Structure 1
Amino acid sequence: MGNSENENLSVVLYKRREEKPQCDIVLENRPVREPAGDEVVLKMNSVGICGSDVHYWLNGRIGDFIVKEPMVIGHEAAGTVVRCGKDVKHLKPGDRVAIEPGYPLCSDEFSKSGRYNLSPVYFCATPPDHGNLQRFYTHKGSFCHKLPDNVSFEEGALIEPLSVGIHACRRAQIGLGHRVLICGAGPIGLVSLLSAKAMGAASIVVTDLSSNRLDKAKELGANFTYQIKLDEKPQDVAKKIEEILGGMPDRTIECTGAESAVQTGIYATKSGGCLLLVGMGPQNVTVPLVNAAVREVDIKGVFRYCNTWPTAISMLASGQINVKPLVTHRFPLEKSQEAFEYTRDGKGIKVMLKCDPEDQGA
């Protein structure tokens, strides 16, 4: 039961009441979309819950992306190919794949130069595009990446957040011997930590308000952690970081979006270094821009990722990066509401939903 494409249980956000921003989480059977020539149908296995998924549930929007029509949620995912379109040659039924949830919709200057994340894209669970938290899902074949036998479905699903860390560390040009500050020990801060270590960072300090999250950062290999106090001034935090690392960080990866953390990042980063902004905060923030300018601290941003899945798969298969400790809770698809509540309440690090009723394990 539950394994037929006729029973395509899906997790759908419904915006029912204008006066209330929160959407309803509804479980319903949805038709499986027939694959175009360049698409594949996947039997889904593991889908991680991301902070953006929870944001859409609670607020019905992120910026200009608004849930108007019912939308299938979910974008951190892996599954098994069950059918291929006629033009798909690199995959066959039975192949286990990780899904890259965004793909360019046109061949513009960005996609031609390899920066396809800057092109207009289809992106799972970003209105009006449906996500993949369902029993079966149809996706562009060239954005389904085959998993080696020693990489699990859950690791495949975690490539999506890991890709944010890889792309961020590439943009920051983290290299051998660098001192690195990572602001925020949520999932994105932790995958940035794993990526920075793999790229040769010699000394990494992770900051957060939560001692539990900092404990996880230590478990994953942070050399140092520092618990921020709410009333601390950014300059004082920067001084503390310099003391802990034995020098100012060459690179700072800011994963919180908090104005105070961005300010800390500028004050903390070594002259000639780089502050990389990953966290999404308010549209406008007040920052000591002149301090960065006169010290030639580069400030860069990221938008998702590009060209990261092959790298991530190689790193996971070789054991150079281990994302398994990030998964702290698992729920069957039928308990999606509870899983979203766990994530909302900050319980654990990464909550994983299991879509295949015959495979509920890690």
Structure 2
Amino acid sequence: MVFAATPPHHGTLTGFWVAPFDFCYKLPQTVSLQEGALIEPLAVSVHIIKQAQLSPGNSIVIMGTGPIGLLCGAVAKAFGASKIIGVDIVQSKLNFAKELGFTHTYLSQGISAEDNAKAILDKSDLGQGADIVIDASGAETSIQTSLHVVKAGGVYVQGGMGKADITFPIMAMCQKEVTVKGSFRYGPGDYELAIELVSSGRVPVKKLISDVVDFHQAEEAFKKVKEGQVVKVLIAGPNEPVQVKRLDALS
């Protein structure tokens, strides 16, 4: 798989970018180019939710409410999840998750994984655990907490990528007979489904666009994203005029 902007391959901050025809998807008239720019991360989230085999009425906890975690929640809502709980260490991100349709949020505390898990279950009224838990952060503490949040016989999907080796609560996984799955980018049908979710209005990706900035502001935009001050920033092309806005969506 060739992934733009992943070395040694160049990214797409250019006027033209060549891709194989069979890797291209035509956007419906109802989907704007700005929304189209978010089809790729949405396809990643679609793949994660498909890996989880979510059914209508399931409860789901999403560890990490960055763009992928947020979109996982949006897809879960579109698929009929009954409870969608977002967990993060940044309150502003959790506030945005509520705006996107998450039913509950939890600000992770500097306590043990077991205690954080108990607090999540209590605050969200999840009883013995969530049907599905997704880690979209890659953080070791989040992964550890996840295995204590998922119910016996539940599904855990690793969507975030962090350190190559971590301390994993294998006893909790075994005792509860948890189904553990990994998720890597996307597979057949994920792009088509992502486009359909946007074109039908079931996933409002435009809400994630914090700003559209001039090409010469690209460096500042990357800095704001790294600092967690925005969700998604679109960069206009070198010759594309745009009304530059303030980059303060999450401040």
TM-score (norm 1): 0.64
Aligned residue number for residue 120 of structure 2: 241
Q: Distance in 2 between matches of 1:245 and 1:326?
A: 28
> Alpha carbons of 1:146 and 1:296: their partners in 2 closer, same or farther (altered >3 Å)?
same
Report what 1:173 is aligned to. 53
Query: How much has 1:343 moved relative to structure 2?
Result: 1.5
2:15 is the counterpart of 1:135: yes
Give the number of the structure whose alpha-carbon radius of gyration is greater.
1
**1:352 lines up with 2:234 in the alignment:** yes
Letter in 2 for 1:208: D
Residues 138 and 245 of structure 1, relative CA distance in 2, 3 Å threshold: same
Structure 1 segments, 4+ long, off by >6 Å, are none
CA distance in 1, matches of 2:17, 2:40: 17
Mapped to 1, the partners of 2:175 and 2:227 lie a distance apart of 42
Once residues 361 and 175 of structure 1 are traced to their aligned partners in structure 2, the CA distance between those partners, rounded to angstroms, is: 42
Q: What amino acid is aligned across from residue 82 of structure 2 in structure 1?
A: A
Query: Is 1:191 paired with 2:92?
Result: no
Q: Is the 8 A contact 2:68 2:136 kept in 1?
A: yes
Aligned match of 2:138: 257
Change in CA separation of 1:361 and 1:276 when aligned onto 2, cut-off 3 Å: farther
TM-score normalized with structure 2 length: 0.92
CA, structure 1 residues 246+126, in 2 after alignment: closer, same or farther (shift >3 Å)?
Answer: closer
Report the Cα distance in structure 1 between the residues aligned to 2:25 and 2:117, rounded to whole angstroms: 41
**Match of residue 280 from structure 1:** 161
Partner Cα distance (1:361, 1:158) in 2: 20
Aligned counterpart, 2:102: 222
Unaligned runs of 5+ in 1: 1-120
User: Could you tell me which residue of structure 2 aligns to residue 69 of structure 1?
Assistant: none
- Counting only pairs closer than 5 Å after superposition, residues 305-344 of structure 1 correspond to structure 2 as 305-307=186-188, 308-344=190-226
Q: After TM superposition, list the pairs within 5 Å mapping 1:63-142 onto structure 2.
A: 121-142=1-22
Instruction: State how far apart, in whole Å, the 2-side matches of 1:359 and 1:169 are.
Output: 37
Structure 1 position 356, deviation (Å): 5.9
**Which of 182, 197, 207 lines up with 2:87 in the alignment?**
207
Corresponding residue SS for 1:284: coil
Residue deviations 1:3-50 (CA, integer Å, cap 9, x gap)? xxxxxxxxxxxxxxxxxxxxxxxxxxxxxxxxxxxxxxxxxxxxxxxx
Q: Which of these residues, 159, 170, 178, is aligned with residue 289 of structure 1?
A: 170
- Structure 1: distance between partners of 2:66 and 2:240: 31
Asked if the contact 2:213/2:243 (under 8 Å) is kept, the reply is: no
Task: Mark the runs of 5 or more structure 2 residues left unpaired by the alignment.
Answer: 245-251
Tell me, in whole angstroms, the C-alpha distance in 2 between the residues paired with 1:127 and 1:284.
Answer: 22
Indicate if the aligned counterparts of 1:272 and 1:295 stay in contact, CA closer than 8 A.
yes
Q: For 2:151, what is the secondary structure of its paired residue? A: coil
**2:214/2:241 contact within 8 Å kept:** no
